[in-house]
Amino acid sequence: MNGEHPLRSTHRPLGRAWTALAIAALIVTMGAPARAAAVSTFPASQETIIVGSSDGVSRAQADDGIMETLTETDVAPDPVVYPGTETVTTGTLASGNFSTDLLSSDDAYVQYREAVAPPTSTLSNTPAQNGTGCGWSSCPNGNASDDLYASSSLAGAGATYRGLGFALPADAAIIRVEVGIEAYEPSGNDRIAAAVSWDGGTTYCPSVQVNLPGADPNAYTYANLTACGSHPWAGADFAADNIVTRLTHVQVGGVVETLYLDANGVRVMYETNYRLAVRYDWTAIPVGNAYVLTIEAGVSDENVTVEVLTPPSVWSGRLNFTSAGDRTLLYNLTAAEFNAGGPAIRFVDAGGPDDVASDLRVDFVVVTAVTLAYRLDVRQDVSGISGSSPVLVLKGNVSGGGENFNVDVWNVSAGVWDPTLPAAFAAAVGYLNLTLRPEEIDAGTVSVRYTDVNPTNAAPGSLHLDLVAVVANPISAPLDVVPFAAAGVAAAVGVLAFLFLIRRRILPGGEKPREAESGTTAPAPKRATKKVLAPAGTRAVAAILESGHAYLVEEGKPGQGPKLLEDLTRIGRSGLLMTRGDRESTQAQFRFQHTTSVFLGEGRTDTGGDPPTLESIEATIGDFLRENPVGAVLIDDIEFLADGNRFGDVVRFLRRAAAAVTGGKQILLASVRPGTVRPRELDALEQELDVVRLG
């Protein structure tokens, strides 16, 4: 920007003289007395937010350093993917259905119960070395089955073997302990007495004699050492190098024979305490900017850890459920855990196995592919413009997200937005100006639109506006900062903002009761009023609507009811829209998520076609509510219901529809537009439903 000019030129440049005239016009408006053909200034007076958010157009009505901020909103759909397969490795599926009972937060659970895992386990290990002081020949040959033999020709000679390498779970309950021998004695007379130690060879169980075949059987013969005198077997006995075998030559008859030992080992059978291991797998999750695992679950008796797999085999604890009541926990998957769209999780005991069979109940499991696409579409109107040579003057800058914004002006004649100032703003605060053409002014009103340059930007950008105004009848004056007086301008123009009242069947405080149709005054019900100020509009309403309630949405302008439903679906609810609007304009104006739309006016003409019956509409709503436990229904609008039906029937229909959501997690909305029903009828509707008033 040239330091000599506070305004930046456009493709319809004002030039230095025109720039001076425009700025002087603003100065004269606020400081000079009225005169013929006086300079006139017209600040922006109304604002419509299509996409994005604003802290109020009143902040852009004066060049005073108080800036309006327009911020982009993420409009990209975030696909949700539910687990595709279930693997119960340890435990049992006690109740529920995978995965239909995991699709929504509706208290329909998949419940798992711990079990011993598995019921029994068997480990068979061979020694790694023989003990010291072995009385047999070639003792190491008795370690493994390889047709190399240790031998003994001396009655009473003993051989010890150790290093069997057991590692049992600490909670293992020992069922059976056996010593296995692969040995033979050619005459078939002498025997081997097998014993086992649990303390490294200090103490042994009583030995058990084993008869030997006349040739190598190439298989083990087992001696049962489970009964070990007064010693109770435990999992800890099989830790470190505690297990040692001892084999002793037993002579039978008058001649000592030669024994041949090929291998020996120990076999232990055990069971563990209760534990849980349940795995979920996903496939084909779309690519996004982030991936959020969401689980709603509760536990009994014992905490449960959710582990996430980093392929190929590393499981990491990420979430812990510790409450008997339902809790919703979230975790952002790493790129490795996302595994190209195929992540896996498993539920396991947080504290390991114990002696109580605990339960895990799962209500909702999903991975959300968070997809970011920040957009802005905000329109402002400058009204009441009169005079000659009108000039649009903007002052502002951009910040955040590296995003810039276009300025368009509505071309009344062509019925299109003229792309007037592409990528118009800089990081530093500066002025922009634009001479307005006749076709851009409609009955004294100019409409300006701000849109983002990159509609797929993954970071939110902001546009700051200090001044939006039209100057007419400009005069020459020195260049200077535009000295709008904020208070004076704000008092002179009306500001469009959403101010709504949510109440339960009551008129707002201070409002006169409606006139009954007979001319008498209907008394106002004596019930408490709930007021909420929401400059952000319907989105703030959506955040505080209560589940299990039915609301009458009294629109301040058309389209607010569907916008409220759109906001409800964007915070996770499924939607049912029943509207008299046409399909094309509705789909173009609103971005519903997970919503079924029923266009009640399709197939009808001005001269024929019956309206849908209340019974058919009620059946459609009933079907939706049964399948969507956290759904939101919008009937848009009540006037259409009254077409061909008695109003009393409409009221009773709404009463039944409201009863269908009462006490649950669903929401019913029925919109009514200004002046479409009589005062007495509106009173009757307000007696049936809670009320949302949108300004």
Nearest residue to 106 (alpha-carbon basis) of 693, 631, 688? 631
Q: Which residue has the higher pLDDT, 589 or 518?
A: 589
- For residue 602, pLDDT over 60 is answered with no
pLDDT value of residue 450? 96
Does 553 reside within a domain? yes
Q: Of the ranges 321-325, 352-356, 487-491, 582-586, which is most confident?
A: 321-325
Supply the mean pLDDT for the chain: 82
pLDDT in tens, 122-132: 878 888 887 77
Q: Do 508 and 549 belong to one domain?
A: yes
Distance CA 624, CA 439 (A): 48
Q: Give Cα separations from 397 to 302, 470, 560, 610 (angstroms).
A: 56, 19, 30, 55
Q: Do 110 and 139 belong to one domain?
A: no
For CA atoms 253, 258, 262, 267, the dihedral sign is: positive
- For residue 505, pLDDT over 50 is answered with no
pLDDT in tens, 407-458: 999 999 999 999 989 999 999 999 998 999 999 999 999 999 999 999 888 8
Q: Do 258 and 129 belong to one domain?
A: yes
pLDDT value of residue 117? 60
CATH number at residue 525: 3.40.50
Cβ atoms of 403 and 461 within 8 Å: the answer is: yes
By residue count, the chain amounts to 695
Structure tokens that stand for 194 in this block:
């097998």
pLDDT value of residue 108? 93
Residue percentage of the chain with pLDDT more than 70: 82
Distance CA 686, CA 578 (A): 20
Does 184 reside within a domain? yes
pLDDT value of residue 191? 97
pLDDT value of residue 479? 31
Q: How far apart are the first and last CA of the chain?
A: 41
Does 377 reside within a domain? yes
pLDDT value of residue 118? 60
DSSP state of 316: E
pLDDT in tens, 302-314: 899 999 999 999 9
Q: Do 592 and 686 belong to one domain?
A: yes
- For residue 230, pLDDT over 80 is answered with yes
Q: Do 280 and 223 belong to one domain?
A: no
Cis peptide preceding 300, ω within 30 of 0: no
Does 417 reside within a domain? yes
Q: Do 226 and 315 belong to one domain?
A: no
Cβ atoms of 489 and 466 within 8 Å: the answer is: no
- Which structural domain, as residue segments, surrounds residue 467? 7-76+373-491
pLDDT value of residue 538? 56
- For residue 52, pLDDT over 60 is answered with yes
Nearest residue to 165 (alpha-carbon basis) of 129, 122, 125, 131? 125
pLDDT value of residue 401? 63
Structure tokens that stand for 269 in this block:
């059978």
pLDDT in tens, 130-142: 777 789 999 999 9
Does 2 reside within a domain? no
Confidence of residue 630 (pLDDT cuts 50, 70, 90): confident
pLDDT value of residue 539? 57
Q: Do 665 and 593 belong to one domain?
A: yes
Rounded mean pLDDT of 486-490?
A: 33
Confidence of residue 646 (pLDDT cuts 50, 70, 90): confident
Does 309 reside within a domain? yes
Q: Do 505 and 479 belong to one domain?
A: no
Least confident of 2-16, 166-180, 410-424: 2-16
pLDDT value of residue 133? 76
Confidence of residue 119 (pLDDT cuts 50, 70, 90): low
Which of 224, 243, 271 is the last residue in one of the domains? 271
pLDDT value of residue 249? 97
Rounded mean pLDDT of 176-205?
A: 96
Q: Do 262 and 217 belong to one domain?
A: yes
- For residue 506, pLDDT over 70 is answered with no
Q: Which residue has the higher pLDDT, 146 or 558?
A: 146
CA 460 to chain centre: 19
Q: Do 515 and 654 belong to one domain?
A: yes
pLDDT value of residue 480? 34
Residue percentage of the chain with pLDDT more than 90: 53
CATH number at residue 318: 2.60.120.260
> Within 10 A of 48 (CB to CB), how many other CB atoms are there?
16
pLDDT in tens, 670-695: 999 878 888 888 888 888 898 888 87
Does 512 reside within a domain? yes
Q: Do 246 and 321 belong to one domain?
A: no
Which of 229, 249, 271 is the last residue in one of the domains? 271
Q: Do 296 and 436 belong to one domain?
A: no
pLDDT in tens, 33-46: 434 456 788 999 99
Name 305's bridge partners.
Answer: 320, 348
pLDDT value of residue 474? 63
Which of 317, 346, 366 is the last residue in one of the domains? 366
In the chain, how many domains are there? 4
Q: Of the ranges 81-95, 398-412, 637-651, which is most confident?
A: 81-95
Does 1 reside within a domain? no
- For residue 488, pLDDT over 60 is answered with no
The amino acid present at 75, given as its one-letter code, is V
Rounded mean pLDDT of 592-610?
A: 65
- For residue 268, pLDDT over 80 is answered with yes
